[in-house]
Structure 1
Amino acid sequence: MARPNPDKLYIQDVTLRDGMHPVRHRYSLDQVRSIAKALDEAYVDAIEISHGDGISGSTFNYGFGAHDDVEWVAVVADVCKHAVVTVLLLPGIGTLHDLRQVHDVGARSVRIATHCTEADVSRQQIETARKLGMDTVGFLMMAHMASPEKLVEQARLMESYGAECIYVTDSAGALLPKDYMERVKAVRDALRPETEIGVHAHHNLTMGVANAVAGIEAGAVRVDASLAGMGAGAGNTPLEALVAVLDKMGMKTDCNLFKLMDAADDLVRPLQDRPVRVDRESLSLGYAGVYSSFLRHAEAAAKLYNADTRDILIELGKRHMVGGQEDMIIDVALNILKQRGAAA
């Protein structure tokens, strides 16, 4: 999909997708409507809406949503006059049938997300999205777990399947700006000039804005962010802060900063039953290199088995656990309990 204005950055909001995690995927339709309307009026380029783990992520393993994805997508499509309605799809969770359903109610862009070394599972989904005429994006998650060379290999696969944009995604918020820039630049240099590059950062090491800027300076033209940083772990790059920084740097976004500030403070922060912030638990995610959406699952397991959430997260990092292995959180908690009993 050719962007209407290639001379500006493409601002992709993820408040209603990654931001599902802090509210346990329980956004009401009225909340989705009001947030989407505010974002559209603030002139973001795209709004991603789905269960936090992508379309059809509403399961026992990931957490049940308050509504199904078709309902959520239809609400956003109804209020958007400018922003492109976007969904996330993880092969093995969402199906081609699910993709066609959300397309029918207004989704016009899809990000096909895989672990950073498993791009080969995305071919069918990328090809189908292109046939539907959707803006089609490859989304390489947990980018800190692969070398720049490996990311290039995987990005080329997604590009060969038809992806029009490739995201270098720091799902764990574990990368420092220099390392993020290196990965983004490697991917940018390796792909065709017309294939766009996107960046998606988490704030677990407080690097959300810094990494987004580093990615842009390395050649990314699409950048993810969310109101009040609403997202898994310590949250995503906070949208209102990012737009303020980009404006001071002279980078064009066309977003209305004050409207974004108002939406963050008035609509999003009041919904956080657990503050989205850098604290001992979310900091541990970035330090250990653990998938950000593991946070609330790890906290629940820690409470159930009287363990320290940080111990669980550090062990998950040592085991190199990735998205889709949420069941291992209980296994780790039980092992900690067993070791404590043996030590006693």
Structure 2
Amino acid sequence: MDPQRVLIHDPTLRDGHHAVRHQLDRDQIRGYAAAADAAGVPVVEVGHGNGLGASSLQVGRAKLSDDEMLSTVREAMPNSRMAAFMLPGWGTTADLQKAVAHGADVVRIAAHCTESNLTERHLGFLRDAGVEAHGVLLMSHMATPERLAEECALLVKYGAQAVGILDSSGHYLPPDVTQRITAIAEAVDVPMIFHGHNNLGMAMANSVAAAQAGARIIDGCARGFGAGAGNTQLEVLVPVLERMGFPTGIDLYALLDAADLAERELMPAPPTVDSVSIVSGLAGVFSGFKNHVLDISAHWGVDPRDVFFELGRRQVVAGQEDLIVDIVMELRNDTTKRENDGPPRGTARS
């Protein structure tokens, strides 16, 4: 196999779910899966934005069940491999068993960047089931390169056949990615993964930096469809990698057709780097929080930018969505108190 070859992993039908509150329907999922298959995209990931078993009031109920999504995509893709994603705590071994039964070829088990020990049981199950298992670390900007390397080594020990990092908040700059992938490369002998978000407009540059540093599985979504400001834009990523000497084996015209279909059929509009996304990236907050923060902040009349910076200060991570309400109420109460107290004693009112 060409050592420069990059395997493209496409989570449009999983990460993109965050952008539409997990409401993709069967026809939308089937249509994009078939288009990606026709383009020769090697791996297409499907599911609730937070993964198997995550459909809930806390993070949003999906329109379709995991079973419906998996079976629909499997039927639509005779060539591409199907992937699923799971966070221990949201999903269980029973969810993995269902994904395997539906023909999942690849399953990613994700954990917070310092908690790879939570993946041991599930990676072991996948290894025994003969399914390709990946271990990925979320919110990876919150750990040093050395710590990420240690955690990735544990993932391999538990059975991961590829390991890597997700820039869950879109916080990285290219040198950050280079340092981390380089450190991981020294600790493991399996393919390395990089998944970028575009909150600071760096997703493409970060993905290229990852490939140059040795990552050989790079994620990209059609039109960047994903949480927050979106992911690395797939139909740009592929030709850029090809020009740089990293072959992907994907048919460019068919990929562009798939991206056009995705924009037309999956999303109200392609993701943009808006003001809230920038603040989220600077604060290092999980991109999937965006809609929750906007909804709750608007209801209580609080500036969502303040909410994001406070979430970042407290290092809140996915699964702690309930803290958004607490922070909004604290900020609202502080604002109300300042307004009621008036100016400090000795100052004149205007």
Which bracket does the TM-score occupy, shorter chain normalised? over 0.9
Q: How many residues align?
A: 339
Deviation of the 1:275 alpha carbon: 4.5
RMSD: 1.3
Helix, strand or coil at the partner of 1:53: coil
Query: Which of 287, 296, 313 is residue 292 of structure 1 equivalent to?
Result: 287
Instruction: Work out whether 1:45 is the aligned partner of 2:42.
Output: yes
Deviation of the 1:266 alpha carbon: 2.9
- Counterpart mapping for 1:259-274 below 5 A: 259-273=254-268
Q: What amino acid is aligned across from residue 281 of structure 2 in structure 1?
A: G
Asked if 2 retains the 8 angstrom alpha-carbon contact of 1:228 and 1:269, the reply is no
User: Could you give the per-residue CA deviations for residues 271-293 of structure 1, whole angstroms, max 9, x where no partner exists?
Assistant: 33365110001111111100010
Name the CA distance, whole Å, in 2 between partners of 1:269 and 1:234.
18
Asked if 2 retains the 8 angstrom alpha-carbon contact of 1:12 and 1:47, the reply is yes
Name the CA distance, whole Å, in 2 between partners of 1:268 and 1:13.
15
User: Could you give the per-residue CA deviations for residues 37-57 of structure 1, whole angstroms, max 9, x where no partner exists?
Assistant: 000111111000010000011
Report the CA distance shift for 1:38/1:275 in structure 2 as closer, same or farther (over 3 A): closer
Helix, strand or coil at the partner of 2:153: helix
User: Could you give the per-residue CA deviations for residues 285-314 of structure 1, whole angstroms, max 9, x where no partner exists?
Assistant: 111100010001101111111111111111
Deviation of the 1:106 alpha carbon: 1.3
User: Could you give the per-residue CA deviations for residues 291-340 of structure 1, whole angstroms, max 9, x where no partner exists?
Assistant: 01000110111111111111111110111111111111111111111011
Asked if 1 retains the 8 angstrom alpha-carbon contact of 2:39 and 2:258, the reply is no
Name the CA distance, whole Å, in 2 between partners of 1:35 and 1:254.
19
2:202 equivalent in structure 1: 207
Q: What amino acid is aligned across from residue 6 of structure 2 in structure 1?
A: L
Segments of 4+ moved more than 6 angstroms? none
Asked if 1 retains the 8 angstrom alpha-carbon contact of 2:28 and 2:266, the reply is no
Structure 2: gaps (5+ residues): 340-350
After TM superposition, the structure 1 stretch with the greater mean CA deviation from structure 2, 271-280 or 19-28, is: 271-280
1:222 equivalent in structure 2: 217
Helix, strand or coil at the partner of 1:24: coil
Instruction: Work out whether 1:158 is the aligned partner of 2:158.
Output: no
Q: Could you say which structure has the larger radius of gyration?
A: 2
User: Could you give the per-residue CA deviations for residues 91-144 of structure 1, whole angstroms, max 9, x where no partner exists?
Assistant: 011010111011111111100000000000100000001111111000101110
User: Could you give the per-residue CA deviations for residues 213-268 of structure 1, whole angstroms, max 9, x where no partner exists?
Assistant: 10111111000000000000000000001012112212201112222222222333
2:100 equivalent in structure 1: 103
Q: Normalising by structure 1, what TM-score? A: 0.96
Structure 1: gaps (5+ residues): none
Name the CA distance, whole Å, in 1 between partners of 2:256 and 2:51.
27
Query: Which of 170, 175, 192 is residue 173 of structure 1 equivalent to?
Result: 170
Q: Normalising by structure 2, what TM-score? A: 0.94
Asked if 1 retains the 8 angstrom alpha-carbon contact of 2:28 and 2:265, the reply is no
Deviation of the 1:165 alpha carbon: 0.5
Asked if 1 retains the 8 angstrom alpha-carbon contact of 2:73 and 2:82, the reply is yes
Instruction: Work out whether 1:113 is the aligned partner of 2:102.
Output: no
1:312 equivalent in structure 2: 307
Identity %: 40
Name the CA distance, whole Å, in 2 between partners of 1:54 and 1:128.
17
2:57 equivalent in structure 1: 60
Q: What amino acid is aligned across from residue 65 of structure 2 in structure 1?
A: D
Report the CA distance shift for 1:285/1:165 in structure 2 as closer, same or farther (over 3 A): same
Report the CA distance shift for 1:93/1:15 in structure 2 as closer, same or farther (over 3 A): same
Helix, strand or coil at the partner of 1:13: strand
After TM superposition, the structure 1 stretch with the greater mean CA deviation from structure 2, 261-270 or 293-302, is: 261-270
1:92 equivalent in structure 2: 89
